[in-house]
Structure 1
Amino acid sequence: MDKLYDNWLNLNNSFYRRLVYRVGIEAGFFSEYNNMILSMLYCLTHRYRFLLDRYSNFHTAGWCGFFEPFCDMVIDHRMHRRSSDWRYSIKKTLRSHSLKYLSDIKPYLCIWRKDLLTQDVFGKARDPRMAEKHYFIPELGIDGNLQQACSQLIKLTWRYNKDTKICVDTLIHDLSLPGEYIGMHIRGGDKFIEHKIEAVDKYFDCVRETITTKNLFVLTDDYSVIEEISVRYPEWSVYTLCSKEERGYFHSSFMEESEDFRQNQLIKLFASVDILSNAQQFIGTYSSNPGMYIGMRNPNICTGVDFDHWLLW
């Protein structure tokens, strides 16, 4: 890991043009994280130095509230959006500075020309054509498709800080999960906005014939899923970090909770995806952001119930 980190720093810092990226603008954590990984890959292929803005919507300390830094961090008060519509940004800047004419915005345009911001690469990094390319970045051990390239960038960035690691390790230890298990991500809540909710039976239909264990870890935001599995599949030993009080995740409601509550829930989410990523088989929806993430982190174990193969959303 130290060699990968050192090689990344040397390569990233060798680029003259810069992108200042804000991870944690308005969406859920894995939506923000996945887009950051894709944007990092865009920067590598187009020779932009990747910088992180210190602000995030998931921790008052930004990225370093949960993770170790992996690039230079800056404080950037310019507008960052999960959009590639530069015209909207200019109009919003005019309004925010009480400016009326485009000529009045020239000082701000001069600043923009020095750096790219989140919205300048957001759409480009998610271009479906990215998934058709072969990536060769020998300094980082990248020689493969989009998933394989992103897997290396996840290794680089998914490094907990000391406090987060203690919390995640404690949750996993206290779960007493057996050595062999499969994992499922069964999402409820506002998931229907992205894709239809898949029936629990469909997940079990996807269990590979080579799987002999009956140990199952489930990442879910709705404990009724656990109750349903316990009734319909009593032969399975089910493990989860979902509490009995949880009955579906809705992002807008989640963001209204206290800072401590949201941080504790994210720690549980991190522990859950670590568990899923080490399962003998992962079964989930590629249309969900945790499914997209695990499809990049450990693609060989993944089975989708919504699509036959991982895809770039």
Structure 2
Amino acid sequence: MKNTLIKIQNFFLALAMVVRHPVKAPELMLARRNEEELAADIEAINRERIRTLYGQEQEPADPELKKKEYRKINESYEKRLIFHVGFGAGLFSELDSMMEHMLFCFENHIRFEIYADDANFSKAGGMGWEELFEPFCPINHDKLNHIANYRPTDYKSTMRHHRLWYKGYFLPKILKRRTGADYLTQDIWCMCINDDFKYHPVDFPLFGMKGTATSQFSKFGEIAICPKPDVRKEMDALISKLHMPEHFVSMQIRGGDKCLEYKELKDAASYVEKVEALGLSGQPLFIFTDDYTNVTKIRELRPEWELYTLTGEEERGYYNEAFNRQDWEFRRKNLIKLLAIVELCKKADYHIGPNQSCVDLYLRSVKGLERYIVL
């Protein structure tokens, strides 16, 4: 009897896939099933009415004013996206993607909201986004987001085809009805990660944006990446103990799981050569690395150089999957340290990076081509 019921269930699932299968595009385009609908919605919005809110204004000097202006404009839009942040990638992979989607929504007049109750930068059952950061936009708390609101590139790789209809269409539809959202992460994801979006021109004086999306998205960091007071206090304590000079150069040397992504990672000796080629060897150096042996190597090669780092002597490479399995106290401590490190790299006169990480992408956007040097 049980086998008969399973066969009947599978028959109707297969039939439903044929009749209402969500994947209308080729294999890699799971999330684009709503692209035509989205494009039509975008065209239907009165761009001129909204543009008057920010088109002619100048960039406010006070970050708090920027936040208020962003909220005012963002919450004036009728169409809504709930973006699932903290899906499981590294912190700045998550934050970069979030800010790129913020920019997409801002351009196309879609209200940007987030779901972060299950974020990997929060403890289980914790405060989600507000575990580390101040809120900056509406936050949705519907638990169905956990399985029905997803990054399609991650989601499809672990999803069996006979479940595509259920988790790829049915549950997202229920979530949209429950929350009133028009779009979820998977509906817009592929449009935000392609080069057409990343390299198209943007010009929003209100937020000091003029360039391409990939060079300007970090301007939303002033609005979105605002550590809570207790987190900021811990960041400041880490930074102050280094007694950094006013002028210095920063560099990022990656190890760990990046060796699985790239055939060759730049070693410490390459950075020494670059510093000398740029005529910066007399400058104090802040070393951002996940492997302390890189600090040791530079000290061996140039013992006279003035070096600073927040990397612990025991650190031997960052592995994201292993990091996500650690207890919350360990993760919190290291996430706050990462935020402090990035803060220092932002303050550096120049930053030298391998252009091989999401933190690099963020820092390159922050510092611009004049102050970010690709190794």
- TM-score, structure 1 as length reference: 0.87
1:283 correspondence with 2:352: yes
Q: How does 1:144-155 map to 2 (within 5 A)?
A: 144-155=211-222
Q: Report the alpha carbon displacement of residue 202 of structure 1 after superposing the two structures with TM.
A: 1.8
Which amino acid in structure 1 is aligned with residue 274 of structure 2?
Answer: C
Q: Which residue of 2 aligns with 1:168?
A: 235
Mapped to 1, the partners of 2:173 and 2:319 lie a distance apart of 40
* SS across alignment from 1:122: helix
Q: Which residue of 1 aligns with 2:301?
A: 232
Q: Which residue of 2 aligns with 1:310?
A: none
Query: Contact (CA 8 Å) 1:86, 1:120: kept in 2 or not?
Result: no
Distance 1:251 1:151, change over 3 A: closer
Mapped to 1, the partners of 2:352 and 2:109 lie a distance apart of 36
Q: Which residue of 1 aligns with 2:184?
A: 117
Which amino acid in structure 2 is aligned with residue 188 of structure 1?
Answer: G
Query: Contact (CA 8 Å) 2:99, 2:218: kept in 1 or not?
Result: no
Q: Report the alpha carbon displacement of residue 117 of structure 1 after superposing the two structures with TM.
A: 1.2
1:302 correspondence with 2:372: yes
Q: Which residue of 1 aligns with 2:105?
A: 43
Q: Which residue of 1 aligns with 2:31?
A: none
Mapped to 2, the partners of 1:240 and 1:178 lie a distance apart of 13
Which amino acid in structure 2 is aligned with residue 50 of structure 1?
Answer: F
* SS across alignment from 1:73: coil
- CA deviations 1:60-100 (Å, max 9, x no partner) are 32121111111011113232222269986996475569xxx
Q: Report the alpha carbon displacement of residue 183 of structure 1 after superposing the two structures with TM.
A: 0.5
Which of 56, 62, 67 lines up with 1:5 in the alignment? Answer: 67
Which of 128, 139, 146 lines up with 1:62 in the alignment? Answer: 128
Q: Name which of structure 1's ranges 26-35 and 147-156 shifts more when overlaid on structure 2.
A: 147-156
Distance 1:298 1:109, change over 3 A: same
Gap runs ≥5 in structure 1: 306-313
Which of the pair has more CA radius of gyration?
Answer: 2
Which of 178, 200, 203 lines up with 2:245 in the alignment? Answer: 178
Percent of aligned positions that are identical = 29
Q: Which residue of 1 aligns with 2:257?
A: 190
Q: Report the alpha carbon displacement of residue 3 of structure 1 after superposing the two structures with TM.
A: 1.7
Which amino acid in structure 1 is aligned with residue 372 of structure 2?
Answer: C
Q: Which residue of 2 aligns with 1:19?
A: 81
Structure 1 residue runs of 4 or more that deviate by more than 4 Å after TM superposition: 84-97, 104-107
Mapped to 2, the partners of 1:228 and 1:28 lie a distance apart of 26
Which of 330, 341, 353 lines up with 1:261 in the alignment? Answer: 330
Mapped to 1, the partners of 2:167 and 2:211 lie a distance apart of 44
Q: Name which of structure 1's ranges 115-124 and 86-95 shifts more when overlaid on structure 2.
A: 86-95
* SS across alignment from 2:120: coil
* SS across alignment from 2:152: coil
Mapped to 1, the partners of 2:359 and 2:269 lie a distance apart of 20
Gap runs ≥5 in structure 2: 1-62
Count of residues in Structure 1 that have an aligned counterpart in Structure 2: 300
Query: Contact (CA 8 Å) 2:247, 2:284: kept in 1 or not?
Result: yes
Query: Contact (CA 8 Å) 2:115, 2:139: kept in 1 or not?
Result: yes
CA RMSD of aligned residues (A): 2.6
Q: Which residue of 2 aligns with 1:243?
A: 312
User: Which structure shows the higher helix fraction?
Assistant: 2
Which of 307, 328, 343 lines up with 1:274 in the alignment? Answer: 343
- CA deviations 1:184-240 (Å, max 9, x no partner) are 110111011222211222222333635363311111111111111110121212111
* SS across alignment from 1:275: helix
Mapped to 2, the partners of 1:59 and 1:21 lie a distance apart of 16
Which of 245, 269, 291 lines up with 1:222 in the alignment? Answer: 291
Which amino acid in structure 1 is aligned with residue 342 of structure 2?
Answer: V
- CA deviations 1:165-194 (Å, max 9, x no partner) are 100000000111122211011011101122
Q: Which residue of 1 aligns with 2:139?
A: 73
Q: Report the alpha carbon displacement of residue 118 of structure 1 after superposing the two structures with TM.
A: 1.5
Which amino acid in structure 2 is aligned with residue 178 of structure 1?
Answer: P
Mapped to 2, the partners of 1:241 and 1:85 lie a distance apart of 32
Distance 1:210 1:231, change over 3 A: closer
Distance 1:139 1:59, change over 3 A: same
Which amino acid in structure 1 is aligned with residue 66 of structure 2?
Answer: L
